[in-house]
């Protein structure tokens, strides 16, 4: 028993990662860049209401911003794993600066139209899609392992600081100096990010004989996502929440202008209040987590968001609308943080970027489809009735899907490296395949049902780590001799599989081994295609 008088080491403070210079510089630059991005988004969302009174046109701006992430999230996750992340981020920042530069030029010359605005917003969405997984993937490179959770939390805080400052500042500049000035400030913000990335001297990645190609990494990511039942639950809960909650984001410019009688500056204040509410939410969430599990947190987020949508139907006074946006920000950060943290906790390191990319794809797909759908509904029945439908749907879905429990995320996903290297008669080319692996077990008949149940769970692990087919066969002359087989696309993929097996997977394999009755470990055979 541990000595109760022994003091455990203090946990790192919330701002401890900022003591590491590289993280502090990149974090600060990212906050500035995000402030500029929110200013650009406010200008674009407001300008489209000047150009068109159609709710569909307004909602299309939100769709154009989020659809690329739905379409490109997985390729972006793959690129973040196989390219130099620093150079890739610099390239994306230059593209985003060019988008805002084009918006500046068109708006200053009076040539900006709704099609141009939607098209450039779509290109900006492509940049955001390419950038998102890579920003998340570099965090472990910038801080120590002890500070990793704090760094992830600070990134979330930074986004919401930008959300609190950017929209309000963008609305003020838009109202005072016009759209061109707003887009110009955004261009300058990207220069800070590029300068910080150029300053960062990222160590060159070591060459690996098992490095993945784009298509191979893409297929491996899809196989993992298809086989991970825990990830499926997270994605389902995300789709349900964001499909309904997207109504308030798609229609908020019209709510501010038509229902509340506000101008561009007031719209910026509303969005700034959302960011302020999210910051406040980040501060109270530790207390909420002490009382609620992940499912309770997501239900709370749904009810808060639905309540705000329902209250906006009554066109409250402007000060009360700002207060409602604080609660919207609270509900939004609870949902985002809960779903993202669960997704992070169930993904092993080797596929985390691609797994998070799948999550981002689903999140933005739900937002894009939801925004367009709610815009069409508002076109037909009006904004107030649409908000009512969204609020009722979100509340009912929150209760209905509360029974679909989110995974706990408590498994040890560190690589176990317990598989022995295969014995080879001669070296095997890495691209040779397919490869069949056979594992022979001796199982007593009375143990067979429990063994098969354990093997079904093991099959998900085999598929997640690289197998594209799996099966279990019984010997026709010996009922206690059972062979497990699985197929991989190449020898290199099987060798990667060796390094992907986690401690949790090793525990599951030990459970399977309890049923094996042979004097030695099960025989393992590797077969190569001719």
Span of 296-300, 408-412, 413-417 with lowest mean pLDDT: 413-417
Structural element, H or E, at residue 152: helix 148-177
**pLDDT attached to residue 150:** 62
Q: How confident is the model at residue 4 (pLDDT cuts 50, 70, 90)?
A: very low
Q: How confident is the model at residue 5 (pLDDT cuts 50, 70, 90)?
A: very low
d(CA 257, CA 208): 56
Q: Would the pLDDT of 440 be above 80?
A: yes
**pLDDT attached to residue 286:** 73
Does 257 fall in a domain? yes
User: Do residue 473 and residue 349 come from a single domain?
Assistant: no
**pLDDT attached to residue 233:** 94
d(CA 151, CA 238): 23
What is the extent of the structural domain holding 291? Answer: 16-201+213-403
**pLDDT attached to residue 53:** 67
Question: pTM for the complete prediction?
Answer: 0.75
Write down which residue in 352, 385, 403 finishes a domain.
403
User: Do residue 384 and residue 445 come from a single domain?
Assistant: no
Contact indicator for 413, 349 with CB cutoff of 8 Å: yes
User: Do residue 444 and residue 395 come from a single domain?
Assistant: no
**pLDDT attached to residue 308:** 94
Neighbour-count burial for 435-463, b at 16+ CB within 10 Å, e otherwise: bbbebbbbbeeeeeeebeebbeebbbbbb
Contact indicator for 117, 61 with CB cutoff of 8 Å: yes
* Of 372 and 5, more confident: 372
146: how many CB neighbours lie within 10 A of its CB?
A: 12
Does 414 fall in a domain? no
Q: Would the pLDDT of 444 be above 80?
A: yes
Task: Give the contacts of 338 (CB within 8 A, at least 6 positions apart).
Answer: 294, 297, 298, 301, 406
136-172 pLDDT, tens digit per residue, is: 777 777 877 667 666 766 777 787 778 778 877 888 8
Q: Would the pLDDT of 471 be above 90?
A: yes
d(CA 366, CA 399): 19
User: Do residue 468 and residue 333 come from a single domain?
Assistant: no
CA dihedral 106, 108, 110, 113 (to 10 degrees): 40
**pLDDT attached to residue 283:** 75
Does 348 fall in a domain? yes
**pLDDT attached to residue 1:** 38
User: What CATH number is attached to the domain comprising 28?
Assistant: 1.20.1250.20
Contact indicator for 135, 356 with CB cutoff of 8 Å: no
Q: What is the mean pLDDT of residues 178-196?
A: 91
**pLDDT attached to residue 415:** 64
Question: Assign residue 409 a region: left if phi > 0, alpha if psi is -120 to 50, beta otherwise?
Answer: left
Does 339 fall in a domain? yes
User: What CATH number is attached to the domain comprising 481?
Assistant: 3.30.70.100
Write down which residue in 357, 386, 403 finishes a domain.
403
Give me the number of domains the chain comprises: 2
**pLDDT attached to residue 90:** 92
User: Do residue 92 and residue 51 come from a single domain?
Assistant: yes
Q: Would the pLDDT of 8 be above 60?
A: no
Q: What is the mean pLDDT of residues 260-264?
A: 83
Report the DSSP beta bridge partners of residue 516.
443
User: Do residue 81 and residue 175 come from a single domain?
Assistant: yes
510-521 pLDDT, tens digit per residue, is: 888 889 987 778
**pLDDT attached to residue 309:** 94
Does 206 fall in a domain? no
SS (H, E, C) 465-491: CCCCEEEEEECCCCCCEEEEEEEECCH
Q: Would the pLDDT of 273 be above 50?
A: yes
User: Do residue 456 and residue 322 come from a single domain?
Assistant: no
Does 125 fall in a domain? yes
d(CA 37, CA 28): 14
Q: What is the mean pLDDT of residues 490-519?
A: 85
Neighbour-count burial for 114-134, b at 16+ CB within 10 Å, e otherwise: beebbebbbbbbbbbbbbbbb
**pLDDT attached to residue 400:** 92
User: Do residue 88 and residue 175 come from a single domain?
Assistant: yes
Write down which residue in 350, 385, 403 finishes a domain.
403
Q: Sign of the CA dihedral 496, 498, 499, 502?
A: positive
Q: Would the pLDDT of 129 be above 50?
A: yes
User: Do residue 245 and residue 118 come from a single domain?
Assistant: yes
Does 399 fall in a domain? yes
Does 424 fall in a domain? no
User: Do residue 461 and residue 518 come from a single domain?
Assistant: yes
User: Do residue 187 and residue 306 come from a single domain?
Assistant: yes
31-80 pLDDT, tens digit per residue, is: 898 898 888 888 887 788 777 767 777 777 777 887 787 778 788 888 87
* Of 453 and 1, more confident: 453
User: Do residue 468 and residue 380 come from a single domain?
Assistant: no
d(CA 139, CA 507): 29
Q: How confident is the model at residue 3 (pLDDT cuts 50, 70, 90)?
A: very low
97-128 pLDDT, tens digit per residue, is: 999 999 999 988 888 888 888 888 899 888 88
Average pLDDT along the chain: 84
142-152 pLDDT, tens digit per residue, is: 877 667 666 76
Contact indicator for 492, 430 with CB cutoff of 8 Å: yes
Q: Would the pLDDT of 311 be above 90?
A: yes
């Amino acid at each position: 028993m541990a000595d109760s008088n022994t003091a455990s080491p203090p946990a790192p403070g919330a701002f401890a990662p900022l003591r590491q210079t590289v993280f502090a510089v990149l974090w600060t630059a990212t906050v500035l860049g995000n402030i500029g991005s929110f200013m650009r988004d406010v200008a674009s969302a407001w300008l489209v209401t000047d150009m068109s009174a159609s709710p569909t046109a307004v909602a299309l701006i939100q769709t154009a911003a989020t659809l690329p992430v739905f379409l490109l999230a997985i390729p972006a996750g793959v690129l973040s794993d196989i390219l130099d992340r620093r150079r890739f981020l610099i390239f994306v920042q230059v593209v985003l600066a060019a988008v805002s530069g084009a918006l500046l030029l068109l708006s200053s010359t009076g040539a900006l139209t709704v099609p141009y605005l939607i098209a450039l917003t779509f290109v900006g969405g492509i940049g955001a899609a390419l950038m998102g997984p890579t920003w998340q993937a570099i965090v472990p490179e910038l801080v120590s392992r002890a500070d990793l959770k704090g760094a992830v939390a600070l990134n979330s805080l930074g986004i919401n600081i930008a959300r609190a400052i950017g929209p309000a500042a963008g609305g003020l500049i838009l109202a005072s100096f016009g759209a061109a000035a707003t887009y110009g400030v955004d261009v300058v913000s990207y220069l800070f990010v590029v300068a910080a990335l150029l300053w960062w001297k990222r160590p060159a990645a070591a060459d690996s004989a098992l490095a993945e190609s784009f298509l191979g990494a893409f297929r491996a990511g899809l196989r993992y996502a298809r086989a991970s039942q825990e990830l499926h639950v997270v994605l389902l809960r995300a789709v349900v929440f964001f499909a309904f909650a997207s109504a308030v984001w798609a229609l908020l410019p019209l709510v501010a202008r038509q229902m509340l009688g506000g101008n561009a500056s007031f719209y910026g204040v509303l969005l700034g209040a959302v960011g302020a509410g999210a910051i406040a939410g980040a501060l109270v969430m530790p207390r909420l987590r002490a009382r609620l599990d992940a499912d309770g947190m997501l239900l709370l987020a749904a009810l808060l968001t639905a309540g705000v949508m329902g209250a906006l139907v009554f066109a409250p006074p402007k000060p009360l609308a700002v207060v409602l946006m604080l609660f919207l920000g609270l509900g939004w950060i609870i949902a985002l943080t809960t779903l993202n943290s669960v997704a992070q906790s169930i993904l092993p390191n080797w596929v985390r970027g691609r797994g998070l990319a799948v999550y981002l794809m689903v999140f933005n797909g739900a937002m894009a489809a939801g925004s367009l759908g709610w815009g069409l509904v508002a076109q037909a029945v009006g904004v107030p009735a649409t908000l009512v439908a969204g609020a009722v749907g979100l509340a009912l879905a929150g209760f209905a899907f509360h029974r679909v429990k989110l995974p706990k995320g408590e498994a040890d996903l560190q690589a176990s490296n317990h598989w022995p290297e295969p014995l080879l008669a001669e070296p095997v080319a890495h691209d040779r395949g397919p490869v069949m692996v056979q594992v022979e077990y001796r199982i007593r008949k009375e143990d067979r049902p429990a063994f098969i149940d354990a093997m079904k769970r093991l099959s998900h692990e085999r598929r997640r780590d690289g197998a594209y087919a799996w099966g279990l066969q019984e010997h026709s002359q010996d009922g206690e001799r059972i062979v497990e087989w699985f197929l991989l696309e190449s020898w290199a993929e099987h060798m990667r599989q060796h390094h992907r097996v986690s401690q949790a997977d090793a525990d599951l394999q030990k459970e399977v081994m309890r049923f094996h009755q042979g004097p030695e470990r099960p025989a393992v055979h590797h077969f190569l295609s001719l």
